[in-house]
Amino acid sequence: MYYDLFYYFVLSDFTGETQEIDDMSDLQRQIDTIVQEKFLRYVKVWTTSEPELAPKKTPSTACQWDLIKILEQELKDLGVPEVYLDEKGYLIGRIPARGKEGLSGLGFMAHVDTASDAPGKDVKPQIHKNWQGEVIKLTGDVTLDPQDIPDMKDFVGETLISSDGTTLLGADDKAGIAEIMTAVEVLMKTPGIQHGPIEVVFTPDEETGCGMDRFPVKELKSKFCFTLDGGREGELELECYNAWRVDLEFSGNVIHPGYARGKLVNAVTMASEFVSMLPRSESPEATDGRYGNYWPHAIEGNLDKAKVTVMIRDFDAEGGKRRLEAVQTFAKAVEASFPGGKVAVTEKMQYSNMKEELDKHPELEPLMLRAYEKAAVIPLVKPIRGGTDGSKLTAMGVPTPNIFAGGFNFHSVREWVPVKSMVKAVNVVLSLVEIWAEE
């Protein structure tokens, strides 16, 4: 019976007997209730991370501990026998194999922090049940309007969750956390399910780009890991950008403007000259699909010194290197046209496209496609125009593609998530566990 019970959770192609359909929908309803309850609880915990502090300190903000501790306790309460938490806030729950002891492990990962781009404190989630396609008014002129957000039209009749319009919602990535924790609850409360070793991993500071800098990769035993950190239902991401950050420092020569002729070298002018050389046709706002880009990310300065940060993104490493060379060339050109001025350039690779590593494990994509099929999810395989902690974990030796978490409009006060998509993500996790145990 337990064996069948598990099938009710995950089978889309059930045999059609009335009894099974009833049981399945009942269990799907339970998942629906559990994932909503967890999600609504987690989003109320303030976990905004701080990019400026993250290079020096993990977690960058103390508030992230609040959710980390809640998750630690919840794993213990669910009976997860091994719970690892280190002083940096990396939390790993280990569920030992049951009936499939020889199998290598699978991991599921999500991040506790939310982006600092929009307020993340005092989130008041709003539940829009049986949404009928109308404009959802949040606060002031903040609305969720299906005219502006065409994706909404795919979810008429569903329950949508948003913030009250004054904060972000935090579906990025608390939807991912709720989905993983729901899967843990199902696995722990259904003792008959046979599976290999499972790890669940919760990390701080993903949004700062520094989330994996101090990750205790030796603690991770899984052969493959999956982040639940994607957007709309169906997304399946095995490829991301190669990313570089270039910091330029322009040094001028300061002299009183009244005596400046032939002597003053203005660092502000140097920096702006440099910025104007970056081709706008290769900016994020001018590119999509598989096209790479670069853009001036930050600028500050005065007559004496000016600093510019440039970000470079490309799926193809060669394309990225071409832009790195272009930045160097523009910097030299500026230096040459401002005699007496100096330009110092520092390059840093931030993360690399995980595709090359993932391609070494050709069984991974078919495994994921089977799990999506079993969970009745149509896969949307696409490259991430960004990076995830999964790409960094892949570089550390644990291949980690990305699964959807279900939300939309991340990092904004218009963030929203359909509950149905969260349920589907739970089913994908359970399907992966099941199919892996069959292999």
Report the residue number, 270 or 417, with the smaller CB distance to Zn ion: 417
CB atoms within 10 A of CB 355: 17
Closest separation between CB of residue 194 and Zn ion, Å?
32
Report the residue number, 80 or 228, with the smaller CB distance to Zn ion: 228
Q: Choose one: 11-19, 223-231, 239-247, 335-343; the region binding Zn ion (CB under 5 A).
A: 223-231
SS3 of the chain: helix, strand, coil, percent, to 5: 35, 20, 40
* Angle made by CA atoms 83, 85, 88, in degrees to the nearest 5: 165
Question: In this structure, are residues 398 and 217 in contact, taking their beta carbons and an 8 Å threshold?
Answer: yes
Identified binder of Zn ion from the candidate list 113, 173, 237, 389, rule CB under 5 A: 173
Q: Choose one: 18-26, 76-84, 166-174, 249-257; the region binding Zn ion (CB under 5 A).
A: 166-174
Q: Choose one: 13-21, 53-61, 225-233, 412-420; the region binding Zn ion (CB under 5 A).
A: 225-233
Q: What are the tokens at 375? A: 């969970």
Closest separation between CB of residue 172 and Zn ion, Å?
4
Closest separation between CB of residue 155 and Zn ion, Å?
20
x/- map, 301-340, Zn ion, by CB under 5 A = ----------------------------------------
Q: Choose one: 31-39, 80-88, 165-173, 276-284; the region binding Zn ion (CB under 5 A).
A: 165-173
Report the residue number, 231 or 301, with the smaller CB distance to Zn ion: 231
Q: Measured between alpha carbons, how far is residue 62 from residues 52, 208, 234, 423 in Å?
A: 14, 14, 34, 31
Report the residue number, 197 or 211, with the smaller CB distance to Zn ion: 211
Q: Residue 32 interacts with Zn ion (CB under 5 A)?
A: no
Report the residue number, 173 or 239, with the smaller CB distance to Zn ion: 173
Q: Residue 113 interacts with Zn ion (CB under 5 A)?
A: no
Closest separation between CB of residue 203 and Zn ion, Å?
10
Question: What element of type H or E holds 349?
Answer: strand 342-351
Closest-CA residue to 347 (of 236, 275, 191, 242): 242
Question: In this structure, are residues 324 and 347 in contact, taking their beta carbons and an 8 Å threshold?
Answer: yes
Report the residue number, 105 or 209, with the smaller CB distance to Zn ion: 209
* Angle made by CA atoms 189, 417, 140, in degrees to the nearest 5: 140
Q: Choose one: 75-83, 145-153, 228-236, 279-287; the region binding Zn ion (CB under 5 A).
A: 228-236
How many residues in the shown chain lie near Zn ion by CB under 5 A?
A: 3
Indicate if 206 belongs to the active site: yes
Closest separation between CB of residue 405 and Zn ion, Å?
8
Closest separation between CB of residue 55 and Zn ion, Å?
19
Catalytic residue selected from 72, 74, 113, 235: 113
x/- map, 174-213, Zn ion, by CB under 5 A = ----------------------------------------
x/- map, 119-158, Zn ion, by CB under 5 A = ----------------------------------------
Closest separation between CB of residue 68 and Zn ion, Å?
16
Indicate if 113 belongs to the active site: yes
Residue written as tokens 């291949």?
399
Residue written as tokens 């702006």?
272
Catalytic residue selected from 32, 206, 314, 357: 206
Residue written as tokens 């969970």?
375
Q: Which distant-in-sequence residues (6+ apart) come within 8 Å of 271 by Cβ?
A: 248, 250, 299, 301, 306, 307, 308
Q: Residue 229 interacts with Zn ion (CB under 5 A)?
A: yes
Closest separation between CB of residue 125 and Zn ion, Å?
17
Question: What element of type H or E holds 144?
Answer: strand 143-144
Give every strand in the sheet of 416-418, ordered side by side.
126-128, 160-162, 416-418
Q: Choose one: 41-49, 129-137, 226-234, 248-256; the region binding Zn ion (CB under 5 A).
A: 226-234
* Helix, strand or coil, per DSSP, at residue 293: strand
CA–CA dist 194, 224 (Å, integer): 18
Report the residue number, 49 or 427, with the smaller CB distance to Zn ion: 49
Judging by DSSP bridges, how do beta strands 198-203 and 106-111 pair with one another?
parallel
Q: Residue 172 interacts with Zn ion (CB under 5 A)?
A: yes
Q: Residue 389 interacts with Zn ion (CB under 5 A)?
A: no
Cα 101 to its chain centre, rounded Å, is 31
CB atoms within 10 A of CB 341: 18
Closest-CA residue to 174 (of 24, 307, 45): 45
Question: In this structure, are residues 251 and 304 in contact, taking their beta carbons and an 8 Å threshold?
Answer: yes
CA–CA dist 169, 111 (Å, integer): 14
Active site residues: 113, 206
| Residue ranges binding Zn ion (CB under 5 A) | 172-173, 229
